[in-house]
A = this chain, B = another copy of it.
Amino acid sequence: MSRQFTAHVRVTLKPGVVDPQGRAVLGALQALGFAGVADVRVGKWIAVTLTAESEDAARGAVDAMCRRLLANPVLEDYRFELTAGAGERP
């Protein structure tokens, strides 16, 4: 029987890859007076709700989604947590 799972995927630029969006946010925060901010890195957070036969099957499917679409393996790292059931938040 198929069961529902939710994967929370975090996609981040690999360390060392220049992050223009992070630099822009850093500059904006400093301009707003947040003097203590030293660095900002911006990534994506993606919640995927799916049905699968088992937790292993769901995990394999989400890993394939990350490799094929959600992350650019040259520039980005990804990691995800899988929970049973629906819902945007763990």
Residues of A that sit less than 8 Å from B by CB: 2, 4, 10-12, 15, 22, 25, 28-29, 32, 34, 36-52, 58, 61, 64-65, 68-70, 86, 88-89
Max chain B CB contacts within 10 Å: which of A2, A10, A52? Answer: A10
User: Which B residues lie within 8 Å of A38 (CB)?
Assistant: 4, 49-51, 86
Copies of this chain, complex-wide, total: 2
Closest residue on chain B to residue A51 by CB atoms: B36
In the complex, the answer to whether A69 meets B29 with C-beta atoms within 8 Å is yes
A-B contact pairs, 22 of them (CB 8 A): A4-B38, A15-B88, A29-B65, A32-B65, A34-B64, A34-B65, A36-B50, A36-B51, A37-B49, A37-B65, A38-B49, A38-B50, A38-B51, A38-B86, A39-B47, A41-B88, A42-B46, A43-B44, A43-B45, A43-B46, A43-B47, A44-B44
